Amino acid sequence: MDNIRNVVILGSGCAGHTAALYTARANLKPLVLEGHEPGGQLSLTTLVENFPGFPEGIQGPELIENMRKQAARFGAEYRLGHLDKADLSQRPFFLQVGKDTILTRTLIIASGASARWLGLPNEQALIGHGVSSCATCDGFFFSGKEIAVIGGGDSAMEEATFLTRFANKVTLIHRRDQFRASKIMLDRARHNPKIEFLTDTVVDDVLDASKKEVTALKLRHVKTSKVWDFPTSAMFLGIGHIPNAKMFQGQLDTDADGYLKTTNYVFTRVPGVYACGDVQDRRYRQAITAAGTACMAALEAEKFLEEQGQ
């Protein structure tokens, strides 16, 4: 049946475009469903300096647009929309996207993980201008400055410790006085002379959207209700990520936080269904590692179709 797709790829971040490039070059005419956040996390960042091949760095949105163009040049088809429902219990797999039904022989899940944001009035306007969820991507821009990190888990400790490479001072702001972080990571942060802790404190807003830069945070002490403006050049969020895998609950294995479980890098428990990038990677979460696992998923999908004689 020629209305059955060979490959459908969920997500249009770095992993989605890479899987599209490889499967398009294998002449499999992949369909990419772009998802809730077309372009993924790279489209939210500014200068990317750790993706090999760009000695001067490249803007995240430009990098992701280049990836898309490259895959489209080989025949990858892109469609706006996200998956409402999937039935992976039989092949071809059934996907519901809005009013459309799609049947596919293989599925590559590259739906990523979305950074958890605080939901502050001016937060979204300042992403890329001092508000960031990725210390590895954006820390360098704040060399010699003072930075705030929000959160009390391992991500926040890791980010705060990493950011001391650049910043003069890092203030870790946490809403409680107990930490979810592992002892070793908390101790490392506590012993770092550049890190100060502000506990029982929440952020009510970030300033100053009119200047397109972060100048201060509006803070509130949860026990005393004291409010004050806290001058800072950046706010890094380390309050967790949410893997975009909810729609596969019950059909694929996930860990306690909802990340898809894979074996041999990209295999889910359903033959013909692969997962790559941040939706299955809680550890590295880099563009280059997402591209790497996406390449593996694409090659496995190609091999699977070949073995099925399709």
The nearest distance, CB 278 to ligand NAP, in angstroms, is: 12
Q: Is 282 in the site for ligand NAP (CB under 6 A)?
A: yes
Contacts with ligand NAP, 144-163, as mask; x by CB under 6 A: ------xxxxxxx-x-----
Q: How many CB atoms lie within 10 A of CB 2?
A: 4
Query: Judged by CB under 6 A, how many residues of this single chain contact ligand NAP?
Result: 18
Q: Which stretch binds ligand NAP (CB under 6 A): 128-136, 164-172, 175-183, 293-301?
A: 175-183
Q: Which of 134, 276, 278, 281 is catalytic?
A: 134
The nearest distance, CB 239 to ligand NAP, in angstroms, is: 4
The nearest distance, CB 238 to ligand NAP, in angstroms, is: 6
Q: Which stretch binds ligand NAP (CB under 6 A): 13-21, 130-138, 140-148, 238-246?
A: 238-246
Q: Which is nearer to ligand NAP, 29 or 261 (CB)?
A: 261
Q: According to CB under 6 A, which residues from 46 to 65 bind ligand NAP?
A: none
Among residues 276, 254, 289, the alpha carbon closest in space to that of 109 is found at 276
The nearest distance, CB 199 to ligand NAP, in angstroms, is: 10
Contacts with ligand NAP, 98-117, as mask; x by CB under 6 A: ------------------x-
The C-alpha atoms of residue 163 and residue 138 are separated, in whole angstroms, by 9
14 is known as an active-site residue: no
Among 25, 91, 180, 188, binds ligand NAP (CB under 6 A): 180
Q: What is the dihedral of CA 286, 290, 295, 296, to 10 degrees?
A: 110
Among 36, 176, 246, 269, binds ligand NAP (CB under 6 A): 176
2 is known as an active-site residue: no
Q: Is 218 in the site for ligand NAP (CB under 6 A)?
A: no
134 is known as an active-site residue: yes
Contacts with ligand NAP, 241-260, as mask; x by CB under 6 A: --------------------
Active site residues: 134, 137-138
For ligand NAP, the binding residues (CB under 6 A) are: 116, 118, 150-156, 158, 175-176, 180, 182, 238-240, 282
